[in-house]
Amino acid sequence: MPFALLLALAATAGATVLTYSYDRDANVWSRLCAGVCLGFAVLGLVGFVFASLLGMGPAALALAGVVCGSPLLLLLRGGWRGRVAADLKEGSGAVGRALAGKGGAGVLVFYAVTALLFWFVYAHAMYQTPEGIFTGVDTNIGDMPFHLAVVTGFTQGENFPPQHPEFAGVRLTYPFVVDFAAAMFVRAGATLEGALFWQNFAMIMSLVGLLHRWALKQTRERLAALLVPALVLLSGGFGWLVFLKEAASSGQGVFATLGSLGHDYTRAYPGFEWGNAVTALFVTQRSILLGVALALVVWTLWWQASEKAEGERQKAKEGSDEGAAAIESRRVGKKKFKGKGKTARVASTKGAVEDEDAAGDNTFAFCLSPFALRQMIAAGVVAGLLPLVHAHSFVVMMLMGACMALAQGAATLLLVSQGAQAEGPAWARVWAVWRPWVVFAAAASVLALPQMFFATRDSAVRAGQFFGWEFGWAHGETNVVWFWIKNTAVFIPLLVAALAWRGAGVSRRLLFFYLPFALCFVVPNVYRMAPWVWDNIKILLYWWIASAPLVALVLARLWRRRGAWRAAAVGLLLMQTAAGGLDVWRAASGAVERRSFDPDGLAFAEVIKQQTAPRSLILHAPTYNDPVYLTGRRTFLGYTGHVWSHGIDYGPREADLKRIYTGAADADALIQRDGIEYVVVGPLEREELRKYGLSVNESFFARYRKVGEAGAYRLYKTKP
């Protein structure tokens, strides 16, 4: 365990120190949040390279830790060491002041409650007792064994290069970095349960901090910034109406019903598809948790680079026939680092207001100063980590960056066409605003292209299964408009209010930043981007996150109006977060207890590890919770729902599996042709065959040598 902890600390500390090279104004807690997520991503990628070359032993782990912790050498320089020490002192001082009630107590309470809540959520996400391995999240019943199979494939199955844990012989295209980092912690001495818990808890708390800081940057309102994490993490729709109906019909009342929630409320019944971000995504699909966190680092860097814009933002231009309208140019504040310390110099013109956007700035512009370009390079590097972390996040980052660059170029050409005074030709002005984006794309491509080549080379994924026209996302038979209101409660009306109500406080720069993300709502509603259309939520989620600051601004402005408006703000917030809150509470309270592996299954997994070689190919039931997944061994055909959703054609293998288990005339020949080394016969195999209307031919397997058993499970060796 100390080695695992050392790895995590080295990766986190190294990435945290590195934030000083591209982020000037973050406090130590924000840097730590970024450091956790960046550290885990880099540790997983670097560790995978070393493990592929040297095997997953102490040498590979130690080298990965040294590389990830190498930025700590920057602390040998007095300037860096002084800035870190000052930030640590300020950060601890802020906590001390909050504890003493001298400011910031509300923020401290917010994080304390959040930490307590997610501690219990992830304590129930995967836990082991003498009765087996359980999950306390309904939607995690199938995903948890998949991730356990990926992790054990690395720790016990020598799965290099990685093959799909449920379809042997096929390259694993599922983003695996977050699971590989967990595997590194396990090989370094952590338990499987402990590695997953601490990694998940650190990532979710970092995500909260990154959401908070990004929202504070965009809204410049403390209340709105605290509302954004709540709107994202307690996302949901009108499912709470189902809860109230159940509480009334049961006669137990609301509080008694809260103690015995029987199902989720964001995906309660047909017609409810917008699953809560925590229970439907961040717990179950671990890669998206790290992907969203890294995306927020990129967005914050984009926003900061625009804040450093300097020079003339608007120039005098020719007016209409009624006369010329002069627009005064002004210079926004800038900060500079010199030597060991930080000095700030703020220059402003007469009449400038605190919010630069209130002066009518209509663009999201980037300056050409070296530090702004450094931020765009850093954003590109972070985005370049994403393909093997979370591919959907990488695609969104690159497309949103392209949309913003195109919009900036169009806005620049429009200003030129309207006669705005400018030095140089139009193409030079367009290139000036595009250059930072080109730098971003180039930096991202250097890291991303090798990963994309690695993931897609010799892939068995059928791309045609992923794409197709499908209107209304997963609305089914429900009217599309009512479907979205039902699933998102008051979120969309509040978003429309934010865009239409000038008093909402949405600046033009914030609006410019937000508009490309509307495509993350429109496109998934007309086009399917995965075999299972529900997976479009991985894109839709980015629309929700980008919209949250605008919605939070409306609620914050209503709250400040006091009286009935304040009551309306509270009511709207509760209406928006109640369903998601019920789901998160259900996961945290331990109301759910779903067993994936029973004691016999755990014992049988140990038998398999003792009796088989790490790369052995095993035939077992095509279900989500077979004990083989705990061994790291290769699977002939696993859960077909996962395999299909990953775009793999499993039909031929499924046909072979049926013929082998029923003892068909060619069963033995199929075993030899497919290279199957071991066959499992147990309760899961019998149950799954019954679903096909078939039965296991027990006498057929008597011809093979039984090499192990546990409970009702039997392991047969098919080769001498």
Whether 108 maps to a domain, the answer reads yes
Whether 160 maps to a domain, the answer reads no
Count of structural domains within the chain: 4
Tokens representing residue 211 in the block: 């959401």
Looking at the fold, whether 297 and 436 belong to one and the same domain comes out as: yes
Could you report the per-residue pLDDT of 522-534, keeping only the tens digit for each? 999 999 988 889 9
- pLDDT over 60 (residue 706): yes
Looking at the fold, whether 448 and 301 belong to one and the same domain comes out as: yes
Whether 475 maps to a domain, the answer reads yes
pLDDT tier at 720 (50, 70, 90 boundaries)?
confident
Give the strand pairing for 678-681 and 617-619. Answer: parallel
Looking at the fold, whether 93 and 205 belong to one and the same domain comes out as: yes
Q: What are phi and psi of 527, to 5 degrees?
A: -140, 130
Could you report the per-residue pLDDT of 394-440, keeping only the tens digit for each? 999 999 999 999 988 888 888 777 766 556 677 788 888 899 999 99
pLDDT at 367: 63
Looking at the fold, whether 444 and 381 belong to one and the same domain comes out as: yes
Q: Which residues contact 35 (CB under 8 A, 6 or more apart)?
A: 12, 13, 14, 15, 16, 17, 18, 19
Domain boundary among 415, 432, 459: 459
d(CA 539, CA 8): 30
d(CA 153, CA 148): 8
Whether 140 maps to a domain, the answer reads no
Indicate whether this model's pTM tops 0.85.
yes
Looking at the fold, whether 544 and 623 belong to one and the same domain comes out as: no
Looking at the fold, whether 513 and 439 belong to one and the same domain comes out as: no
Domain boundary among 217, 243, 271: 217
Residue 484, classified by CB atoms within 10 Å of its CB into exposed (0-12), middle (13-18) or buried (19+), is: buried
Whether 210 maps to a domain, the answer reads yes
Query: Which structural domain, as residue segments, surrounds residue 367?
Result: 291-312+351-459
Do 163 and 634 meet the contact criterion of CB atoms below 8 Å apart? yes
Looking at the fold, whether 71 and 199 belong to one and the same domain comes out as: yes
Looking at the fold, whether 359 and 487 belong to one and the same domain comes out as: no
Whether 132 maps to a domain, the answer reads no
Could you report the per-residue pLDDT of 6-37, keeping only the tens digit for each? 999 999 999 999 999 999 889 999 999 999 99
Whether 272 maps to a domain, the answer reads yes
Over residues 628-647, the mean pLDDT reads 96
Could you report the per-residue pLDDT of 310-336, keeping only the tens digit for each? 333 433 333 333 333 333 333 333 333
Whether 329 maps to a domain, the answer reads no
d(CA 424, CA 482): 52
Could you report the per-residue pLDDT of 352-397, keeping only the tens digit for each? 333 333 333 445 666 656 788 899 999 999 999 999 999 999 999 9
Cis peptide, bond prior to residue 161, ω within 30 of zero: yes
Q: What is the DSSP string of 99-124?
A: HTTSS-HHHHHHHHHHHHHHHHHHHH
Looking at the fold, whether 74 and 210 belong to one and the same domain comes out as: yes
Domain boundary among 540, 555, 589: 589
Looking at the fold, whether 189 and 43 belong to one and the same domain comes out as: yes
Looking at the fold, whether 415 and 438 belong to one and the same domain comes out as: yes
Over residues 498-507, the mean pLDDT reads 91
d(CA 316, CA 422): 9
175-184, 461-470, 578-587, range with the lowest pLDDT: 461-470
Looking at the fold, whether 623 and 663 belong to one and the same domain comes out as: yes
